Amino acid sequence: MNILLTGATGFVGSRLADLLLHRTSHQLTSAVRRHGSVVCGQEILVDGLTRDTDWSKALLGQEVVIHAAARAHVMSDQSSDPIEEYRKVNVEGTLNLARQSVESGVKRFVYISSIKVNGEQTASGRPFTERDALAPSDPYGVSKMEAEEGLMELARNTKLEVVIVRPPLVYGPGAKGNFASMLNLVKRQLPLPLGSVNNKRSLVALDNLVDLIITCVEHPAAANQVFLVSDGHDVSTTELLRAVARAMGKSSRLLPIPADVLMIGAAVLGKKAVAQRLLGSLQVDISKARDLLDWEPPLSLEEGLFKAVERHVD
């Protein structure tokens, strides 16, 4: 099968490209902005992801497009209209690629979205499902939702099969952002006031996410479906920190401060959003992928964490 991959130089895309090239028989072409961006495989130059990008050469002969490129979270965004900046890439750029995919005869379009389309928080014991009403709360999530809506409209009116995958926090070797910060704190064995957090959060190991994406490329039943993905094992922030410490061979130093006290302190310091990610719950139900695709995460949480922390172990 001939596959075009966007975002092949990113955290998810680079691992996906590696597994597609070395563990499947698919023929992969990576769309890049400069030659030499990927380690191996065929590359084709594409001038960005905009409403005007010409994808005709990249799409020639392709059967599947995996669209992992996006304008992701921009810290301290200085643009005057952030939502419009996200829309230019994540909505207009995505739908331009999808429309040209239809014109080129592409059969399936696999879109890597985000759980932020569902929202930022779940009630205890009530994980997000694919049937839930969408409730994004930031410009990134809104842009991902609008792209999903446009893609599904295109699927209804053309022969293009659309598959949407919504991951929560993705962790693995080379992960950046909040996960990398957490690893550094645990490695330094600093005392953390997070020993009594009883929330539940879903995460997904990079290899588990990539495995589901490849399944969505290949499985007939994935056509025109949305799938949530995780490791299938939800943990509290306290449990996660302890598991990371075990994977590193370190001792966890967690102080049992009540979560409501931490939330009050965070609000006073103007860090309520940060505290919500640490103290709130965000769970996803992966029953649909299990039942419809007969898919199971190949890595356990512990196995995924061991792979993620390898470069952090002394």
Residues with active-site annotation: 140
Residue with tokens 């890597």: 112
Closest C-alpha among 66, 52, 55, 60 to residue 3: 66
Q: Are 174 and 11 in contact (CB under 8 A)?
A: yes
Structure-block tokens of residue 40? 């191996």
Q: Are 201 and 282 in contact (CB under 8 A)?
A: yes
User: Residue 260, Cα to own-chain centre: how many angstroms?
Assistant: 29
Question: How many residues would you count in the chain?
Answer: 314
Report the C-alpha gap between 278 and 262 in whole angstroms.
Answer: 10
How many CA atoms are closer than 13 Å to the CA of 91, on its beta-carbon side? 16
